[in-house]
Structure 1
Amino acid sequence: MLKLFKLLGNKRLFVILIGLVMFIALMGFTLGPRTTLSWPEKFLRDTVGFVQNIFYKPAGYIAGLFEDIGNMKDIHKENEELKIALAQYTREKARFNFMESENIELKTALNFTKAQLEKNNYEHHIAQVVSVNTDPNNRSLVIDIGERDGVKVDMSVTSVDGLVGVVSKVSNFTSTVKLITTMDVKDPNTNAIAVTSLNNHKTFGIIESYDEKTDTLLMTGIKEDDPLKEKDTIVSSGSGGLYPQGMIIGTVDSVQVGEMGLLRTATISPSANFVDWKQLFVVFTPEVLE
């Protein structure tokens, strides 16, 4: 038994010695100058690379995921800021367009009133339309200035384009305007308009009725030798005192021979737009201003 242990001990020692020699030889071989790797090095490198690849890819995916989440947060925040900026831009653009439109309207109104003031020395007070009555028997509208603003019954009301009507009722803060489209020769309360032509100083006539079918005013009392012709601009002559001189009424569509053959009539297209009401003007004559 003792011999057996000695034999096994010698074998172990022998194996250890052989292994040590091979290790020293391997170290000398790997440390020497060479251009290629030995198979143990290759095996070791491949094993390490394989293990690193197994762990690196998921770690890279996870790191990339967190990075993408961070980027998404930044993009979301940036999108929210852009949406807010776009909404603000839209509001500002709408506000700018509204102000620009209003500015154009006011400039047009200013030019209109300046031209009228230079010609007839009238004052034109701007008024906003509050409501419109479309009843065929009582076409009228209400404006937002009244007695406290100096408005009185029978004052003329005009738009930038032409005469609209006359003030029929006045309250403290508002006024009712009777439109010229309600004029009827059969109505004893109709306020006839003495008119002339802006294109000559010889024309004279009276407007006292409106034709709903043709949307035109009828001008009567025109003398046979009157130089009135188509496309002439018709304005108030100032005779009678109700309508100030120079109020634009409309344009001549046609001139016809009267029923008796001595006087002629003419159809006039109103210059004022009786559909889209915005700003109107109440005309203050010098007599009223005094």
Structure 2
Amino acid sequence: MRNKRLFILMIGLILFIALMGFTLGRTRLTWPEKFINDAFGTVQGALYRPVGAVADFFRDLDRLSDVYKENEQLRQTVAQYTQDQIKFNLLEADNKRLQEELNFTEHQKNMDNYRYLIAQVVGSTSNPYEKTITINLGSRDGVKPQMAVRSVDGLVGLVSKVKNFTSTVTLVTDLDPNSSRGTPVSATFLGKPDSFGIIEYDDETGTLQMTKIDERDKPDVGDKVITSGLGSLFPKGIIVGTVKSSQVGDFGLTYTAIIEPAAKFDHLREVFIVVVPEVEEP
């Protein structure tokens, strides 16, 4: 039995070597080889098609699930937008009615109809004592000094210098009301129209602060801070940031709030120059 197995192994090895020698160096296949290759290819294709169809089916199911989730989010967004639009229409109607009852002038009615000039940020200063950016709009585009500048997220600063084709914007983090170059930013809390405070920048902590807040208007964490419109430089309604914390101010009569800026000063690409309707002289 042992010799028989050895004999069969030797015969198989001889046939394998002969087959290798026969096929080595040939570029053409014999008809049996072609038949086997064609048969194998046909069987492989027949098996691959249903397997591929099943795989595509499951991929389509995953995509369908993603599309369904996106549609659900879009429906929720549209529903929220519709609700907000209804609220806006109601507020706009009430505002118009009150303006007519109070005999507002045309200028007063148009005070909130701001225009925006879209500008690209083309440079920024590396001087830590003067935080400014340069934009690609100038006097020829209607830019003037003391115009407020904002981003999509919130208040950025104020136009400080204007040339023909470019302008310099001083960031809100450099608008210290106690310095010679400073300009105070009067602010209020969204939802608390009677509140008031001054936005300052603390170099030591590197944070925005809202000071001189009346004790009756204690700020809460998460409160939105917007420009109040007082002082005529910064139009009202531009978001400044969100309250992170608050503490009692001088003599316990006021509050000071730490503000998380809404604008991302390190990633400014496009900004909007706020154009306020000019006051017509009588």
Task: Please give the range of the TM-score, normalised by the shorter of the 2 chains.
Answer: 0.5 to 0.7
Residues 202, 227 of structure 1: 8 Å contact kept: no
Query: Structure 1 residue 165 and structure 2 residue 167: aligned?
Result: no
Relative to structure 1, the CA distance from residue 61 to residue 269 in structure 2 (aligned partners, 3 Å threshold; closer, same or farther) is closer
Question: How far apart are residue 194 of structure 1 and its match?
Answer: 0.8
Residues 203, 227 of structure 1: 8 Å contact kept: no
Residue 140 of structure 2 aligns to a residue whose secondary structure is helix
Q: Supply the distance in 2 between the matched residues of 1:214 and 1:200 (Cα, whole angstroms).
A: 27
Q: Supply the distance in 1 between the matched residues of 2:279 and 2:206 (Cα, whole angstroms).
A: 33
Over 4 Å off, 4+ runs: none
Q: Which runs of 5+ in 2 are unaligned?
A: 1-22, 29-87, 93-110
Question: How far apart are residue 250 of structure 1 and its match?
Answer: 0.6
Residues 117, 275 of structure 2: 8 Å contact kept: yes
TM-score by length of 2: 0.59
**1:112-191 superposed matches below 5 A:** 120-191=112-183
**1:38-77 superposed matches below 5 A:** none
Q: Supply the distance in 1 between the matched residues of 2:177 and 2:146 (Cα, whole angstroms).
A: 18
**Cα RMSD between the aligned structures?**
3.0
Q: Supply the distance in 1 between the matched residues of 2:249 and 2:210 (Cα, whole angstroms).
A: 11
Partner of 1:282 in structure 2? 273
Relative to structure 1, the CA distance from residue 127 to residue 288 in structure 2 (aligned partners, 3 Å threshold; closer, same or farther) is farther
Question: How far apart are residue 281 of structure 1 and its match?
Answer: 0.5
Residues 258, 265 of structure 1: 8 Å contact kept: yes
Question: How far apart are residue 205 of structure 1 and its match?
Answer: 0.8
Among 195, 212, 215, the residue aligned to 1:224: 215
Residue 266 of structure 1 aligns to a residue whose secondary structure is strand
Partner of 2:202 in structure 1? 211
| 1:185-222 deviations in Å (ceiling 9; x for gaps) | 43132100111011222211111x21245432111111
Partner of 2:259 in structure 1? 268
| 1:56-112 deviations in Å (ceiling 9; x for gaps) | x9xx869xxxxxxxxxxxxxxxxxxxxxxxxxxxxxxxxxxxxxxxxxxxxxxxxxx
Identity score, percent: 47
Relative to structure 1, the CA distance from residue 199 to residue 134 in structure 2 (aligned partners, 3 Å threshold; closer, same or farther) is farther
Residue 198 of structure 2 aligns to a residue whose secondary structure is strand
Relative to structure 1, the CA distance from residue 251 to residue 157 in structure 2 (aligned partners, 3 Å threshold; closer, same or farther) is same
Partner of 2:188 in structure 1? 196
Partner of 1:32 in structure 2? none
Larger radius of gyration: 1
